[in-house]
Structure 1
Amino acid sequence: MPSNCRINYFQEGDYLYPKLEINKAFKKALTTWRKWIDNNIDSAKTQVVFRGFSLSQYVGGKWNTGGKCNLETEPITSKEKYTLFGQMKTPVIYMNVSKLTYYRSDGHPSLYGRNYTAQERVAAIQDCSHWCLPGVPDTWNELLYISLVKA
């Protein structure tokens, strides 16, 4: 398959979906994961942890098309409702780092890692998908540790 066709494809049995919308691809992948967990994991011996994904917070485009996050200097305080996994035979600890990181849009390196002039700031490609350390990923580690200790 040519490299330009590798985005969001999924194989199910002998059928290869050449193009699959991202949400459908994620749902299919998660369904496959759930089935594997329920069929292969002994929950008496193993604790399953599912870590959500970290959101990137570009405004005005992607990282390589002019997207910026330089105006994000405060945590976001709005609240959103998230649904958890459907019923599974195997208990799963869900670490919702998506929600946690969404509130910390100020934690990206962006362009705050060094002093830029105003002109450099506008032209700079900003990093709005990685995280400053110490910072948000340390919180993920603490939550994982507590979850494992309590399990």
Structure 2
Amino acid sequence: MFLKNGFLVDLAYEKIGKVLKLNSISTGNQWKGVDTLIFNTFHWWNHSGRYQTWDYFQVGDKIVKEMDHMEAYKIALTTWAKWVDSNIDFSKTKVFFQGVAAVHLDGKEWKDPKANGCIGQTQPVLGPTYPGPSHPGEAIVKSVLSIIENPVYLLDITLLTQLRKDGHPSIYAGQGPKFVDCSHWCLPGAPDTWNELLYAALL
């Protein structure tokens, strides 16, 4: 079963517009009673302007037009963590959380300032470390997972994807050469490795 909820918390359609409710998970009953749960959220939290899919944030009773997206992400992830602790029977269900996947928009991060994002990249970053800054979402994920009382298995794909600047659809995403996709991933490619990590963890 696959349930698409890019934020894990509720996105409600109200009179004022689409409200991202950072303290609310109303559809969680669909997650109960299964053998394995794999959660993933981050990709859409970085969107802004015409690409973002919400109009307002709601924290408690307060509704705001804008707030720091990483702060919102942490609040939402904490809501999810508390929900998991309170609602999942860990004696029957194994819970995974897929970590943050990298994007490759700025060649300066991998010491290639002339690079136009991921366009034309055919080789991964060489070596065991990424020369660019740490991913802002990675620390949030690890911080929130550390407060969960029950064991949630982190599928830590951040460094793995940071090294794969060559793994994106780039100009071949099917929307013409003017559209460059450096955030999604080609199949086969990095997602195959994610699956291998999951299979190993399930054994």
Q: TM-score, normalised by structure 2?
A: 0.56
Residue of structure 2 aligned with 1:69, choices 112, 118, 121? 118
Moved more, 100-109 or 77-86: 77-86
Q: Which amino acid aligns with 1:49?
A: F
Q: Which amino acid aligns with 2:76?
A: A
Structure 1 residues not aligned, in runs of 5+: 61-66, 114-119
| Aligned counterpart, 1:86 | 146
Post-superposition shift, 1:104?
A: 0.7
Number of aligned positions between the proteins: 135
| Aligned counterpart, 2:158 | 98
Post-superposition shift, 1:54?
A: 2.1
**Residues 30-62 of structure 1: CA distance to partner in whole angstroms, max 9, x if unpaired?**
1101110111112111111011232221128xx
Q: Which has the higher contact order (CA 8 A, sep 6+)?
A: 1
**Residues 77-120 of structure 1: CA distance to partner in whole angstroms, max 9, x if unpaired?**
3246965232321101111222221111111122478xxxxxx9
Q: TM-score, normalised by structure 1?
A: 0.73
Alignment CA distance shift 1:55-1:34 (3 Å)? same
Q: What is the distance in 2 between the residues matched to 1:24 and 1:111? A: 32
Larger radius of gyration: 1
Query: Contact (CA 8 Å) 2:169, 2:182: kept in 1 or not?
Result: yes
Query: Contact (CA 8 Å) 2:17, 2:55: kept in 1 or not?
Result: no
Pairing of 1:1-150 with structure 2 (within 5 A): 1-2=16-17, 7=54, 9-59=56-106, 68-76=117-125, 77=127, 78-79=129-130, 83=139, 84=142, 85-111=145-171, 124-149=178-203
Q: Which amino acid aligns with 2:104?
A: Q
Alignment CA distance shift 1:17-1:86 (3 Å)? farther
Structure with greater strand percent: 2
CA RMSD of aligned residues (A): 3.0
